[in-house]
A and B are shown apart, each in its own frame.
Chain A
Amino acid sequence: MFVLVLNFFLFRVLPGDPARAGVHDPRLKKDSIEAIRVRFGLDKPVINCFETLNPIKLGSCDINPLDTQFFIYLKNLVTGELGISYHTNRPVATVLAERLWNTVLLIGAGQILSITVGAFFGVFAAWKARTAIDYGALATSLVVWSLPTFWLGIILLFWGSANGLPIGGKATPGMSSAPLMQQWGDIARHMILPTVTYTIVYMGEYMLIMRSSLMDVLSEDYILTAKAKGLGVFQILRDHALKNAMLPLVTIIAINLGFTVAGAIQIETVFSWPGLGGAIFEAVNRRDFPVLQGAFLLIAVTVIVANLIADLTYSYLDPRVHTE
């Protein structure tokens, strides 16, 4: 509820009026501006007054509370109506749904790759703690973690385009008539560069977390006991160490998943990937408030859901955390 309310007022307190944004053209007549305001409901008062909040008057008291922008917003939300984009004149829900799938595809592939690679090197480095391999892995992950995303993206873009990889968009125009397998292959080719960028940037973080939490676990007495029992390296890691060391990693993954739905804004912009991040970036530039409002709601929901999943996973990984 808090998210819903904040989401509404955040965009209403910003200065200016979307109907005036395109005003700098002599062709735009007063009647048209008025028509635009009516269509988007901007002619209605934002909110009526709250008796209890006096003397802070939020709005006029002699209007019907059901005829304010705020109530219309709430009513529309309940019915799943997110409004119409100012910029593209299409329903926000359609725009976001289109973009969300692309983002999930990109982020999904990137996350799986970066978690796998990061966790693998993390385990490896922790096992070989304080050797050249460990220090090498540590230094590499610190470097890649601190690389500016857009910079790395551009570098890969130049490299990729010289090697014939597509550098923009999700698919080659005109592919939609090709067989399905070819279409997928085409999308996969377009995904290579953004996914690699994403993997490199996030892999370092996962590696560092994995390494330090596993090193903690490995210094426990029961690991020593396991070693003394003569168990093999893999068995110790798999049965005794990894599960316990996973907890911090799960937290990070959940947080990252929630936020990266907002998109790897930078990656999507560099590679013109038609995802949510790109949509948000464009909506900010065009002050397309309905799209921003919808996108923020979506992000808020995703963050909450991701955290819920993380909590549930805890209880699976660590039976001491109960869901009661």
Chain B
Amino acid sequence: MKQRTFYIIVLAALILAACGGGPAGTGDKVTVRIGWAGSPDTLNPGMAVLAESYTLFELVYDSMYELNLDGTFTLTLAESANLSDDALVWTYKIRDDVKFHDGVPLTAEDIVFSYNLYQSTEDYPWMGSYTGYFETMEATDNNEVVITLSEPIPNIESQLVFLYVLPKHIWENESAVEFENTAMIGSGPFKMVEYKQSEFVQLAANKEHFLTPPKVDEAIFQTFENTDALVQALKTGQMDMITEMPATAVATLEKEANVDIYVGAPFAPTVTDIILNQVSEENCPEGDGVCTGHPALQDRNVRLALAYATDKKQIVDIVLLGNGAPGLTLIPDGLGVWYNDSLKDYEFDLAKAQQILDDAGYKDSDGDGIRNMPDGSRNLTFRVNWPSDSVDGPRLAELLSGMWDKLDIKTELQAMDPDALTAVCCPAFDFDVMLWGWGSDPDPSLLLSVMTTDEIPTGSSETGYSNPEFDALYAQQAVELNFDKRVEIVWKMQEIVHNDVVYIIPYYDPNIQAFRTDRFTGWITDQAKIEFSDPSSLVVIEPVK
């Protein structure tokens, strides 16, 4: 009897499950549903690390400048910005019509409070580097923000763009570090409705936004930990757009009539790089440095030969399944104007690579099938390491091994735990070749600094590259206030590191996204960056009639 009761209960549960619910009745609201593979780590803008968090911050908060998809900036919170003659004092006149989502007006006070919070909270991992040049920040009676710099800098926009303006009346009562900020009161084009970590984020349109009120009523981000489910959700129409899509899914979705796929640089571009340890003996960091790198890699000829022997097209075809373009230098194409597209890459040419090595004296002098140093001592055998959590690492390593093998250069492949990799990397320089990557700021300065001599002991320089001319240009661009001149210097710097083959850049990581064409129109698809979850797209899309 007991068992029978059981069945009845189970049966009842199943019937309830089958009949109950149905898709949420959203009424007449226009809701755009976005599927993504991740989830924000925290809604506290100071503590956040993951790109998903920043996607939300861009939608819910405003900052002094808006970063456009072409790499330029637009003034948003301020009507005007003025720079003093000594280039040290910026004065921003704040708009009078800006309101937080709870109705409280946003004033210069809130802005200065936020900047101070970011500057003074040491626990914020990244904010310190954006506020480093700010000596004083003041709010005047006239609703102006006055920022005094410690030295003239050419890129105030990129310093301010990620400093989201928080409501002082809420944050002043909270702990800067522990505050979870789930209500997320901001002033941006979308407001937070409900947040369930690792499940979904529900945003409502802020139709009163002073600049860009969205046309849709609601935006929902749903997390799919399994990318097959993510793709399936778009296919069956459960989602209207998906982001963070795997390259393997492109072929499946291409066949769908109502789905368009776009590949481009992400909002925050990242670079995959092949790091060649070229630190010289005199630059080996005191104390931390082990410097066991293969001496051959200090020779530009060897690095050049490796570059010629690296078939980037094949790498893109296999690792990214053709969804991407070969890379050039550490400055990615997603940086728009800063990217030097006039450089000509080293065409894949095995014969030329062999010729370079032969001419430089790297011959197989002991007859074991592997080239030796010119003095006949060491074999050209390189250790190749990559972080074990990298999905593309093993494929890239195998491909490189095969390509360089044709040069009679041997490789020892070994994945390493990211922490262990950091430990041997820098400033220890206890490796030969590494496959890793960098995330880029909108401003090229940070990624250029990675190749300066000053960063060798700090651990930011992974290659140990040192060139006085490059260092001088770096210092020069850091104070060049004329935009065009600065672009010129930055382009010149890319030319130098490209000539010196500091890195080999196989590709810039692509962002693959897809949307249903039968739901919304207006997605911005004609820029170098493709980011449909950016406000630029989400405030302009409209339902298909």
Stretch in A28-36, A68-76, A223-231, A306-314 touching the partner: A28-36
**Which residues on the A side are within 8 Å of B49 (C-beta)?**
22
Per-residue contact bits, chain B 223-237, to A (CB 8 Å; 1 contact, 0 not): 111101110110110
* B123 x A32 contact (CB < 8 A): yes
Of the residues A15, A39, A157, A191, contact of B420 by C-beta under 8 Å? A15
Q: With an 8 A cutoff between CB atoms, is A176 at the interface? A: yes
A87 contacts B41, C-beta separation under 8 Å: yes
Stretch at the interface among A58-66, A130-138, A206-214, A268-276: A268-276
What is the size category of the interface that chain A forms with chain B? Answer: 35 or more
- Expressed in whole angstroms, the minimum distance between the Cβ of B40 and any Cβ of chain A is 9
CB distance from A239 to the nearest CB of B (A): 12
Contacts of A30 in B (CB 8 A): 458
A-contacting 9-mer, from B5-13, B59-67, B140-148, B281-289: B5-13
Separation in Å of the A173 CB from the closest CB of chain B? Answer: 4
Question: Are A161 and B41 in contact, CB atoms less than 8 angstroms apart?
Answer: no
State whether A20 touches B419 (Cβ < 8 A): yes
Nearest CB in chain B: distance from A114 CB, A = 11
| Identity of the chain A residue whose Cβ is nearest the Cβ of B194 in the assembled complex | A176
Contact between B6 and A116, CB atoms less than 8 A apart = yes
> Could you tell me the distance between the alpha carbons of A17 and B228 in the complex, rounded to whole angstroms?
33
Chain A residues, CB < 8 A from B198: 272, 274, 278-279, 282
Cβ A271 vs Cβ B13 within 8 A: no
Contact A36 B222 (CB under 8 A): no
Residue of B25, B124, B199, B447 with most partner-chain A CB within 10 A? B199
Is A322 engaged at the interface, CB distance under 8 Å to the other chain?
no
Given A87-B41, A168-B222, A269-B226 in contact, is the A174-B422 Cβ separation under 8 Å? no
Which one of A4-12, A182-190, A255-263, A297-305 is at the interface?
A: A182-190
Judging by beta carbons under 8 Å apart, are A31 and B20 in contact?
A: no
Nearest opposing residue in chain A for B198, CB measure: A274
A181 proximal to B (CB < 8 A): yes
Verify if B128 is at the interface (C-beta below 8 Å from A). yes
Chain B residues, Cβ within 8 Å of A181: 20
CA distance A116 to B238 in the complex (A): 33
User: Is A77 on the interface with B (CB-CB < 8 A)?
Assistant: no
Residues of chain B within 8 A (CB-CB) of A182 are 20-21
| Nearest A-chain residue to B33, judged by Cβ | A173
Contact for A88 among B41, B196, B200, B229, CB less than 8 A: B41
Q: Is B454 an interface residue (CB 8 A)?
A: no
Judging by beta carbons under 8 Å apart, are A270 and B128 in contact? no
A20 and B422 form a contact (CB under 8 A)? yes
Q: Is B202 an interface residue (CB 8 A)?
A: yes
* Given A120-B3, A186-B20, A272-B225, CB of A26 within 8 Å of CB of B438: yes
| Nearest A residue to B459, CB-CB | A23
Contact assessment for B419 and A15 in the assembled complex, using a CB-CB cutoff below 8 Å: yes
Contacts of B230 in A (CB 8 A): 168
Considering only CB atoms and an 8 Å cut-off, how many residues of chain B contact the other chain? 77
Contact string, A13-50, partner B, CB cutoff 8 A, digits 1/0?
00111001111111111111011100100000000000
Contact (Cβ within 8 A) A89 B41: yes
Q: Is the CB of A167 within 8 A of B125?
A: no
Contacts known (A17-B419, A27-B441); A186 close to B24, Cβ less than 8 A: yes
Q: Closest CB-CB distance, A183 to chain B, in whole Å? A: 8
Asked whether A270 lies within 8 Å of B439 as measured between CB atoms, the reply is no
A154 contacts which chain B residues (CB < 8 A)? Answer: 226, 228
Note all chain A residues with C-beta closer than 8 A to B359.
none
Q: Closest CB of chain B to A271's CB: distance in Å?
A: 7
Instruction: Please tell me if the beta carbons of A16 and B232 are within 8 angstroms of each other in the complex.
Output: no
Q: Are A173 and B200 in contact (CB under 8 A)?
A: yes
**Interface positions of B from 1 to 48, Cβ below 8 Å from A:** 3, 6-7, 10, 13, 16-26, 31, 35, 41-42, 44, 47
- The reply to whether B20 and A188 form a contact with Cβ atoms under 8 Å apart is yes
CB interface residues, A 228-283, toward B, < 8 Å: 268-272, 274, 278-279, 281-282
Q: Known: A17-B419, A167-B238, A174-B26. Contact between A29 and B20, CB under 8 A?
A: no
Chain A residues whose CB sits within 8 angstroms of the CB of B420 once the complex forms: 15-16
Q: Is B479 an interface residue (CB 8 A)?
A: no
The 6 closest A-B pairs by CB, nearest first: A185-B20, A16-B419, A185-B21, A188-B17, A186-B21, A35-B122
Q: Could you list 14 examples of A-B contacts with CB < 8 Å? A: A26-B447, A27-B446, A31-B122, A34-B122, A88-B197, A158-B232, A167-B224, A168-B225, A170-B199, A173-B196, A174-B24, A184-B16, A186-B21, A187-B21
Beyond the given pairs A24-B438, A173-B194, 4 more chain A to chain B contacts, judged by CB atoms under 8 angstroms and listed by A's residue number, are: A15-B420, A116-B6, A116-B10, A189-B17
